[in-house]
Chains A and B, each alone.
Chain A
Amino acid sequence: MSIRDMIEGKKEWRAHVARVKALPHDYQIVYREIQKYLFKVGPVELNDGTGLLSGIVDLFAEGAGMGKGVLEVTGNDVAAFCDDLIKDSKTFADIIQESMEQKGKKTT
């Protein structure tokens, strides 16, 4: 990663955080919990900049603009919403497992 990438990446991230902070309080709470969950599960999309996360902010900003509560947007089962979101995605765990298999093949 070049220094330029890092600065630009940071800038993008800061802009993203600022958008989160502009959401109504209940949306911010749910957004933060979602982000924490996604960081743990680690869908590969997290590596492609803020696309996956900023998509959620778009969805939330529009819902808030319509005067809806956050759970009206995500449904009560927020975890199910997250899992749907990354259903077809490889997770970090998948990647590690694949490279372990590769490693196993090489040594045998």
Chain B
Amino acid sequence: MNFWEKITGSDMTKEMKAFEARTKMLPADYQAAWGKINEYLWAYSDFSGRNLIPILDGVLGLLEETAEDGQTVNEVLGDDLKGFCSALAGEEGAKSFRDKWRAQLNRNVAKKLGK
């Protein structure tokens, strides 16, 4: 059973439809990444999948924001999507991912401010 089938018929369908509409606005490589992220994250869902809604919303927001920036999806998420997802879900390795994001933030700021 895939992600979409699993949620169909639940009271979350509307929210999922809204996600789908937003996803369609993204570039192709982003859409592919989004699909994989969905797959990986589904492993962390409770029965209804409700606990995934905020996290999916956050990721989609991130994708929308960075796509508009003109960055490739690889630059944003790195090549370890699975690791990224388990970090999102607070699994082992989340701390080192957060350190990485932290360093990335400061590096990008320094680079873009030209300092």
Contact = CB atoms under 8 A, between A and B. Distances in A.
Q: Taking the complex as a whole, does A directly touch B, i.e. does some CB pair lie under 8 Å apart?
A: yes
Interface stretch (B2-10, B27-35, B107-115): B107-115
Interface string A61-95: 00000000011000001110011000000011111
Nearest to A1: B15
A78 B105 contact: yes
Given A1-B18, A40-B88, A83-B102, A30 B109 contact: yes
B110 to A, nearest CB: 9
A98 B90 CA distance: 10
Contact of B105 (A1, A33, A46, A93): A33
Size band of the A side of the interface?
A: 35 or more
26 contacts: A1-B18, A32-B69, A33-B109, A36-B66, A39-B58, A39-B61, A39-B65, A40-B62, A40-B88, A42-B54, A46-B61, A71-B109, A78-B109, A79-B105, A82-B105, A92-B55, A92-B89, A93-B87, A93-B89, A94-B90, A95-B54, A99-B46, A99-B51, A100-B46, A100-B89, A102-B46
Contacts of B94: 93
A56 interface: no
Nearest to B90: A93
Interface of A: 1, 6, 26, 29-30, 32-37, 39-42, 44, 46-47, 70-71, 77-79, 82-83, 91-97, 99-100, 102-103
